[in-house]
Chains A and B, each alone.
Chain A
Amino acid sequence: GAVVSQHPSRVICKSGTSVKIECRSLDFQATTMFWYRQFPKKSLMLMATSNEGSKATYEQGVEKDKFLINHASLTLSTLTVTSAHPEDSSFYICSARDNRGHEQYFGPGTRLTVT
């Protein structure tokens, strides 16, 4: 079956630093990847849609300069949280849609803690 990996699975960083999270589709190509954020005991909120070779589409209220998304290849999208603050602490989940346009496969998530 289709597998999506995320790295790192868990990261702790200090306020003011930047953190990069990678999302990879391991056995399929994904023109489109998605980044979600999940607060404790809450639902998944779509942050942005990442399209290979073009700029990401951000949802309303998501700061594009704070959450930098790069989708340089058909199997890799990265999310960089710039100048992280404690309120950025969250569970970040990516997903990748296979190029046939149907199924969306989720990564295992990255737990970010900003101290």
Chain B
Amino acid sequence: AQKVTQAQTEISVVEKEDVTLDCVYETRDTTYYLFWYKQPPSGELVFLIRRNSFDEQNEISGRYSWNFQKSTSSFNFTITASQVVDSAVYFCAFAAGYGGSQGNLIFGKGTKLSVKP
């Protein structure tokens, strides 16, 4: 069965610190997709990134970067120079791949990030 584990329930940092949110997944699928979503206090889920299982290249988008390592089944998310606006709950999610499309999303339990000024 597929599973997503976010071991960090809550993280608190001071503004400008770097912070890494961990995500470990379990699957026997060879084709799958991994996601990160941000959920600010307003509740709306904000899509951050989607990676497929065949692309292990790390990705950087501004202050955000993602490290995908199939060898350790991890898809970690780093925020560099954190800001108060980064405070939110971050969810890692998994979806199996089927013939070019993707299955249902399976979410981790989320990590609540608090960035203090």
Query: What is the minimal beta-carbon distance from A8 to any residue of chain B, in angstroms?
Result: 13
Please, how many angstroms separate the alpha-carbon atoms of A8 and B107 in the complex? 25
- What residues on A are CB-neighbors of B109 within 8 Å? 42-43
Q: Are B107 and A106 in contact, CB atoms less than 8 angstroms apart?
A: no
Residue ID in chain B nearest A46 by CB atoms: B104
Q: A43-B110, A106-B45, A108-B43 are in contact. Are A101 and B100 (CB under 8 A)?
A: yes
Which residue among A104, A107, A108, A109 has the maximum number of chain B CB atoms within 10 Å of its CB?
A: A104
Q: Are A43 and B104 in contact, CB atoms less than 8 angstroms apart?
A: no
A-B contact count (CB 8 A): 45
Which A25-69 residues have a C-beta within 8 angstroms of B? 34, 41-44, 46, 49
Chain B interface bracket (under 10, 10 to 19, 20 to 34, 35 or more): 10 to 19
Interface residues of B (CB under 8 A from A): 37, 42-45, 47, 50, 91, 100-102, 104-105, 107-110, 112
Q: A42-B109, A95-B45, A104-B105 are in contact. List 11 more A-B contacts (CB 8 A).
A: A43-B110, A46-B104, A46-B105, A101-B100, A103-B50, A106-B37, A106-B47, A107-B44, A108-B42, A109-B43, A111-B43
Interface residues of A (CB under 8 A from B): 34, 41-44, 46, 49, 91, 93, 95, 100-109, 111
